[in-house]
Structure 1
Amino acid sequence: MKNYTNPTIAAIQAAPELFNLEKSLEKAATLTKEAAAKGADIVVFPESYLPAYPRGMNFGAIIGSRTDAGRSDFIRFVENSVVVPSEETEYLGEIARNNNVYLIMGITERDSKWSDTTLYCTVLFFSPDGKLLGKHRKLKPTGSERLIWGEGDGSTMPVFDTPFGKIGALICWENYMPLARAAMYSKGVQIYLAPTADMRESWQSTLRHIAMEGRCFVAGVNQYVTKSMYPEDLACYAELENAPDEMSKGGSAIVDPLGNYLVEPSWGREEILITTFDLDKITAAKFDFDPVGHYARNDIFQLQVNEEKQEPRKNFN
């Protein structure tokens, strides 16, 4: 294995200032600084931390009908989403640079090139010098998420080779897509990030399975959110009337390449989960199982991934 430096990673289990991009960026800066002070080299935030994962909301939509109030809340969600690149991504780069960390941030991305209102569930990767290394767009929003997010394509499935190992991410239920995981393994991912909104106990089995299947370190990162954190001036706030007080109870955890917890799941609070990876454990784990090496059987199975960027008007001048 390449001579990497063992990294310290921080998984940020926290809520943003929901539907307020400016204040959420400020909170992200504070939390990143706190993680860096604890020795973090890599800092990971949850799915759609900016500006919110709008759990419990339907934006006034039922099959065959939408409401004006729901459209109003969607406007607010769009206006607080993140254009890439933008002043907001420059600020995130400054956070990474000021704290000398790799910063991995879950956002809702607004596509300013083709459609100013099409949104994507995206993960951004920043290096310690503040550079935006790239992004991953969620390939398939789940269930009602399709109301608010479009689909990513194969052009944003990066794995970055860093001094701390090869880092990549899949978002939430993308991690149930076997071929998406196989694509990550084929790129040699060693630090596999799984920002999510899934707080179920069964999600823990997924994190541990991926670690064992990919023989990689896995950090699952979720938000902790209460109903009281939602702005009461949302047009569809009444949608939350019957929602539980604890909207997302967390469940962030960090797992080693043999499926053992390095940090047990955290429930019921905002918390920074932090640990140091011994990258030699990847080599030890691959002694008896290497999914893209001696266990791959490439004579039988082959994986094809279309990594071409799909642009709606690419054939027009």
Structure 2
Amino acid sequence: MKDPLLKVALAQITPVWLDKTGTIKKIENAITEAASKKAELVVFGETLLPGYPFWISLTDGAQFNSTIQKEIHAHYAQNAVVIERGDLDSICNIAEENNIAIYLGILERPKDRGGHSLYASLVYINQKGEIKSVHRKLQPTYEERLSWSPGDGNGLLVHPLKSFTVGGLNCWENWMPLPRAALYGQGENLHVSVWPGSDYNTKDITRFIARESRSYVISVSSLMRKEDFPITTPYLEEILEKAPDVLGNGGSCIAGPDGEWILEPVLHKEGLLIEILDFNRVLQERQNFDPVGHYSRPDVTQLHINRERQSTIRFAKE
């Protein structure tokens, strides 16, 4: 029988905003610290690497052909992650060296979509340091659509981790019933949801998903304050002019399979939040409800999923 206990770390930290190199170093330090505390899984917030596009709502982001928007966007793209180029190699190496799994929110600039457009992606790296899935956010939310592109179903995958089966979604994807069901149906019992940073988002949906799925749910948010914008930020004065003192207050938390808090939302605190999860609690709660098992009717309703990675071009086989 596998060990039913899993030690998890929620990395509620601030990015070195729009600085890929600086943020990677901060992530590496957090992984190493989590491993030193015997954590077996560490989770980081949505697009922590290199940061969330807060400027859009602060600088009239919908203004067409704006020099400000174009230049900040280009700076953002320059600091995006190109996985094919090896941008995550050092993080993968640390995962392998420390036998720790990682869920990391990144801004991805993928080669298979031409190498210019940006995606909010959630990357799973296993304990061997292997990237096992890259889930591109299916539908960017509201003003995010001015910066991020819609993803596809390729990353709707789950992964074995000791006794658990873990899967994850980005931010408001967690409100989408069908992507949730896509993960439930593959046996997910530890759900990871990543957020840019607000208990407004995490305080309700975390417990709801846990109660619906009878799974553990880990929500991880980042932090961001007005003083956290680097002085090297393009158009910094214009951004700060309308920026509130706090843009991301955290709210990282954990709900158990009964929907009750294991860790209530933590606000304004930077660092690692660590808890131990017991797989047996999943089996206990599935006794009376299992949304894809004994309490489902696939003869009446079924979900069909397209997990093909989308691209503008397709080469015929030679």
The structure-2 alpha-carbon separation of the partners of 1:126 and 1:17, relative to structure 1 and needing over 3 Å to count, comes to same
**Residue type of the partner of 1:282?**
V
Counterpart residue type for residue 12 of structure 2: Q
Instruction: Report how far residue 57 of structure 1 moved.
Output: 3.1
Mapped pair 1:121 → 2:120: yes
**TM-score, normalised with respect to structure 2:** 0.94
Equivalents in 2 of 1:203, 1:104: separation in Å?
Answer: 17
Moved over 6 A (4+): none
Within a 5 Å distance, the mapping from 1:106-117 to structure 2 comes to 106-117=105-116
2:235 aligned partner, one-letter code: C
Structure 1 stretch displaced more, 293-302 or 45-54: 293-302
Inter-CA distance 62–228: structure 2 relative to 1 (3 Å threshold): closer
Name the structure 2 match of 1:28.
27
Superposition CA RMSD, Å? 1.8
Is 2:286 aligned against 1:303?
no
Contact kept, 8 Å, 2:95 with 2:129, in 1: the verdict is yes
Quick one: structure 1 residues 63 and 196, their matched pair in 2 at CA, closer, same or farther if it must change by over 3 Å?
Answer: closer
SS of the residue 1:9 aligns to: strand
Check the 8 A contact 1:158/1:168 in 2, yes or no.
yes
2:264 and 2:59 map into 1 onto residues whose CA distance is 38
- The question of whether the paired residues in 2 share the 8 Å contact of 1:210 and 1:218 is answered with yes
Secondary structure in 2 matching 1:285: helix
d(CA) in 1 for partners of 2:270, 2:263? 15
Structure 2 distance, partners of 1:201, 1:61, is 23
For residue 106 of structure 1, report the CA deviation from its aligned partner: 0.7
C-alpha separation between the residues in 2 aligned to 1:202 and 1:64? 27
TM-score, normalized by length of structure 1?
0.94
Question: How far does the alpha carbon of each residue in 1:203-230 deviate from its partner, in whole angstroms, 9 at most, with x for none?
Answer: 3111001011111111000011111111
Within-5 A mapping of 1:127-206: 127-197=126-196, 199-201=198-200, 203-206=202-205
- Residue by residue, what CA displacement relative to the aligned partner does 1:22-50 show, whole Å, maximum 9, x if unpaired? 11111111111111111200000000010
Given residue 129 of structure 2, which amino acid in structure 1 is its aligned partner?
G
Deviations 1:240-269 (A, max 9, x none): 312211111010001110111111210012
Q: Which residue of 1 aligns with 2:270?
A: 270
Are positions 1:214 and 2:213 aligned together?
Answer: yes
Task: Check if 1:232 corresponds to 2:231.
Answer: yes
The whole-number CA distance in structure 1 between the counterparts of 2:89 and 2:61 is 38
Q: Report the equivalent of 1:74.
A: 73
1:90 is the counterpart of 2:69: no
Contact 1:172 1:198 in 2 (8 A): no
Output the CA distance in 2 between the equivalents of 1:202 and 1:52: 17
